[in-house]
Amino acid sequence: MYVGETGVSYSSIKEVKNMKFQTANRDQAMFKKSLIVALGAMVVALSGCDSKEEKANQAAIQAGQKLAEKGRDAIPGCVACHGAHGEGIAAAGYPRLAGLNAGYIEKQLKDLARELPPAGVAIEAVAKDYSKTPRIYSDLTVFSPGLRHDDIMSPIAKQLSVADIHNLAVYYASLSYTAIPVAADYQVLERGQDLALRGKAEYGLPACVSCHAPDGEGFGADFPPLAGQPSIYIVNQINKWQQGQRDNDNLGLMKAVADQLTDADKLNVAAYYANRSLTVKGQQ
């Protein structure tokens, strides 16, 4: 016979141990229950303050979807060229938009809408009299409002309002996407892979993966995905950098790469990225 802490008597030590064990279990269960209640309350509280933002976001996505599908006045529906689900049209080299970062889409539409400076006007990179000429950009921050021109896409982008651009960006970012790998000659793929993963250190050319992520899935608003983009589109964009029709990459990061690529490099690396698997979950 043994009298425990609470004054209750037990017949054996073993029983006491069991009792303690049970109490501990009960305490844990209680603790778990109160934790669940507390967490539940937090979720309710959080969703309470999020719901306004959430609603605004859903409204933006819906407005974006409507514009993308139906167009408005002289704005054609984006679906005509970018596919019913933003998958693009590979054969025509029209890019996929589904699952791209919303910030990236916004930037591209703004850059495409910007008027090119009139041809033949020389722009002085460095103002000669610093006291009289207000500088817009400081020397090292060449985060310039970039220029990107395309005969088809620029006139469309020019008609979009700031709200349209935001709505379209969040809509396309909300779409999930699964790439269908395109077959290509294995030697072409091997060369493309070599360039993508290794670059050309001997010419100071960094690997594509160092900026466009290990599987070419892209990174944030500044580094777009290459996997899942039509090979024609990838070649076209590199050509545009080389020809000065696209000049909207911060710090000239992509321009420096494009300038080192040969025609064969472009084809190889584009085939490699069109051959990649990729699954992207849309950001709601």
Q: Name the residues that contact ligand HEC, by CB under 6 A.
A: 68, 75-76, 78, 80-82, 94-95, 97, 105, 107-109, 148, 150, 152-153, 156, 168, 195, 206, 208, 210-212, 222-224, 226, 229, 234, 236-238, 248-249, 253-254, 257, 269
From the list 187, 191, 199, the residue with the least C-alpha distance to 258 is 199
Shortest separation between residue 68's beta carbon and ligand HEC, angstroms: 6
**Closest approach of Cβ 182 to ligand HEC, in Å?**
15
Nearest to 100 by CA among 210, 219, 215: 219
Q: Which one, 19 or 71, has the nearer CB to ligand HEC?
A: 71
Distance of closest approach, residue 106 Cβ to ligand HEC, in angstroms: 8
**Cα separation of 118 and 28, whole Å?**
74
Compute the least distance from the CB of residue 151 to ligand HEC, in Å. 8
Of residues 179, 166, 164, 10, the one with CA closest to residue 87: 179
Q: Which is nearer to ligand HEC, 16 or 113 (CB)?
A: 113
SS3 239: helix
Radius of gyration of the chain (CA): 28
Closer residue to ligand HEC in complex, CB, 48/204: 204
Nearest residue (CB) to ligand HEC, 133 versus 210: 210
Helices then strands, each counted (H, E), the chain: 10, 6
Q: How is residue 259 written in tokens?
A: 């300038």
- Joined together, the tokens standing for residue 273 give 């990225």
Kindly tell me which of 186 and 203 has the beta carbon lying closer to ligand HEC.
203
